[in-house]
Structure 1
Amino acid sequence: MSTAKGRKPAAGEGNPLLLQSVARTMSVLEAFAGQPRPLSIAELAAAAGLDKSAGQRIAHTLQALGYLERSSVGLVPGKKALYRAFDFLRMNALVESATPVLHELRKSVNERVDLSLLDGTDIVYAVRLQSKRETFSATLVGRRLPSFCSTGGRAMLAALPEAEALGILEASDRRPLTPRTTTDIPAILGKIEEARRCGYALAIEESALGEIVLAAAVLDIHQRPVAAIHVAGSLSEWAEDGFRQRISPLVMEAARALSHTYKRG
């Protein structure tokens, strides 16, 4: 099958077991990650590195199956995409075990509580229990953040061997999310080492202005990080020292409890 001239290779290209037609189909769906708005067929094809004909056929197929829908101004992800997210969440034993722990923590802190999973160089939020004031994106599961500037990411990196954590940092796109995002690798390593010593990571306005966040890693039976529990507060209500003193023991205890639960599973 022909592809657009100059198309960048798909992930896994060269693997004899990888179906390029499936990879190209997924690249069309993934185009919305970089452009969160309705897209035309031409825009979808360009974002996926396909010629217009291939993009049109794939988009038509996805629309027929319900994974794309047409809005008044272009194509958007369809409701079928939500079904697959539901399947992931209901079949994930860690998410199931975490939910009551997170609800109890939310009652104690009266702030937003999240569960994130490590995915390559990023974290992805799997559970989000919002507080009284939130931006829209902060309430949504499936949101991704770079691990290097997120407290959950740093907490999980602190539980990895140093060489492995460094490899993840070096492979990361370390563009700042706010003016206060730390992007220098030695400085990030210093924050990871602080998380290793304290048992939790803390960040102030590194992924969202006005926000202070603290997180601790959840470990599996091999002491490998599988998730992180976050609590996020507003700097209009919390000073750093007070937030550390109040939130850190509760988050670390919740992470330990979930680690034990996960090991028994």
Structure 2
Amino acid sequence: MYRERRCGIAGAVLWTRASPADADTVRVLPDGCLDLIWSSRSGLLVAGPDRRAHLGPDEPGQWWVGLRLPPGVGPAVLGVPADELRDRRVPLADLWGAGPADRVAASAVGAPPRPVGGDPGRWPGSVRPPVDLGRVARALEAVAVDRLHRADGPDPVGLRVAASLATGTSVAATAAEVGLDARALHRRCRRLFGYGPKTLARILRMRRALAMARTGTPLAEVAARAGYADQAHLGRDVRDLAGVPPRVLLGR
């Protein structure tokens, strides 16, 4: 009931999700990203960068379409510093005003329902979405591409910082690489990612470790390769950021 694909913004992902029949809450792990989201119950929303896992209410029959903007790109699209959206879910109209948000909604909703890709007549459990999810996805992508173009693209320093930290490079080495001192790097990171470079590095390391573990790599080896002191350190860090131990996330 979850699908994703790449889109016209480098590093961004378009995703769709249908809440299952037994939906209660959904756990969203922190990733340094901002999302532009359409919900069948709540309309257009912006999900800010989370410092820890976000536990949100989920209801059976709810449909979601989202554009996940990679770390450092969201502020250029949304026109708001990331730290103003940290740990928040905000109606798009609160950021852009009712008129612009209504125009996005009007371009997104209104065609006969069909899924994003695949056979339009074969949704799981014969459940069909209330709108054309492909149209919603294209509208979110189009408005984001347009606003990113008008903003002259994302901050290139932010992209370099995110790429460096994602590979496990230390914060000090990353600062030297982009030519910023510690304070300037921290200010830049708060504006672009919602939090400082140390927090972003922890989050990206956790994501890297979980991706490695999902390939079947033993957790002790994951810990060593991802830069943790040991498996216990990995477990503590994941529990702190995700709210549950690694084995729960991995279904082991």
TM-score (norm 1): 0.26
Instruction: Between the two structures, name the one with larger relative contact order (CA 8 Å, sep ≥ 6).
Output: 2
TM-score (norm 2): 0.27
Larger Rg: 1
